A and B are shown apart, each in its own frame.
Chain A
Amino acid sequence: GAVVSQHPSWVICKSGTSVKIECRSLDFQATTMFWYRQFPKQSLMLMATSNEGSKATYEQGVEKDKFLINHASLTLSTLTVTSAHPEDSSFYICSARAGTGWTEAFFGQGTRLTVV
């Protein structure tokens, strides 16, 4: 299957700082990328959907000014958690898909964010 690489795998940051997470599709062009947040032993919560070259579409209740998403190219999307707080600590996962049809989405390995 297609490979999606997410970096870093884990990060610890201080409250008030910003953290950037990268999501790259290594062997295909990702027209759409998705960012999820997952709490322990829970399902994935979709945060936003981004299409290359356009603004991300955020789900209801997700602060777009806090979770900045940039999908600047067909192989890279970034999620920046701005002014992080301990409650932002979570597991963040990206996924990417190549087309708008029925193709399955491929997932990155996730990023464990801990805000202290």
Chain B
Amino acid sequence: AQSVAQPEDQVNVAEGNPLTVKCTYSVSGNPYLFWYVQYPNRGLQFLLKYITGDNLVKGSYGFEAEFNKSQTSFHLKKPSALVSDSALYFCAVRDGYGNNRLAFGKGNQVVVIP
């Protein structure tokens, strides 16, 4: 079964500094990888996905993620964090065998300090 690990509970970063949220995954076959962001008492907003192609994926709000097959990682990055980026971030994976189910990581709380 597919699974995702987000090793850190909380990521603190100063406004204007680079932001990285880590994610590693485990799947059978080719991974389909996703990042979502959640604001308090709201649903999840899609940020970006990796299906195939270029390992560097660009998404919404200036976020990007790099797929690394050898390290089974899909870390989320933003060159310059904003206070409004403070939220809960989820990494998710599904396998490529037609399995509809997404496996979510436990989430990372990002706090951007003004």
Do A and B pair up? The answer is yes
Say whether B51 faces chain A, with CB atoms less than 8 Å apart. Answer: yes
- Supposing A107-B44, A109-B42, A112-B41 touch, asked if A43 and B107 sit within 8 A by C-beta, the answer is yes
In the complex, what residues of A have CB within 8 A of residue B101's CB?
A: 34, 46, 49
Say whether B114 faces chain A, with CB atoms less than 8 Å apart. Answer: no
In the complex, what residues of B have CB within 8 A of residue A93's CB?
A: 43-44
Q: Is the CB of A110 within 8 A of B41?
A: yes
Q: Is the CB of B109 within 8 A of A100?
A: no
Complex Cα distance A32/B45, Å? 18
In the complex, what residues of B have CB within 8 A of residue A75's CB?
A: none
Partner of A95, one of B32, B44, B98: B44
In the complex, what residues of A have CB within 8 A of residue B36's CB?
A: 107
Number of interface residues of A (CB under 8 A): 27
Residues of A contacting B: mostly: strand
Q: Is the CB of B49 within 8 A of A104?
A: yes
Number of interface residues of B (CB under 8 A): 23
Question: Residue-by-residue, is B75-99 near A (CB-CB < 8 Å gives 1, otherwise 0)?
Answer: 0000000000000101000001010
**Interfacial residues, chain B to chain A (CB-CB below 8 A):** 32, 34, 36, 41-46, 49, 51, 88, 90, 96, 98, 100-102, 104-107, 109
Q: Is the CB of B41 within 8 A of A104?
A: no
- Supposing A43-B107, A106-B46 touch, asked if A49 and B100 sit within 8 A by C-beta, the answer is yes
Residue in B closest to A108 when the chains form the complex, CB atoms: B43
What 8 pairs across the A-B complex have the smallest Cβ distances? A107-B43, A107-B44, A109-B43, A43-B106, A110-B43, A43-B104, A102-B51, A108-B43
Q: Is the CB of A105 within 8 A of B107?
A: no
In the complex, what residues of A have CB within 8 A of residue B43's CB?
A: 4, 6, 93, 95, 107-110
In A1-31, the 8 Å CB interface with B consists of 1, 4, 6, 9-10
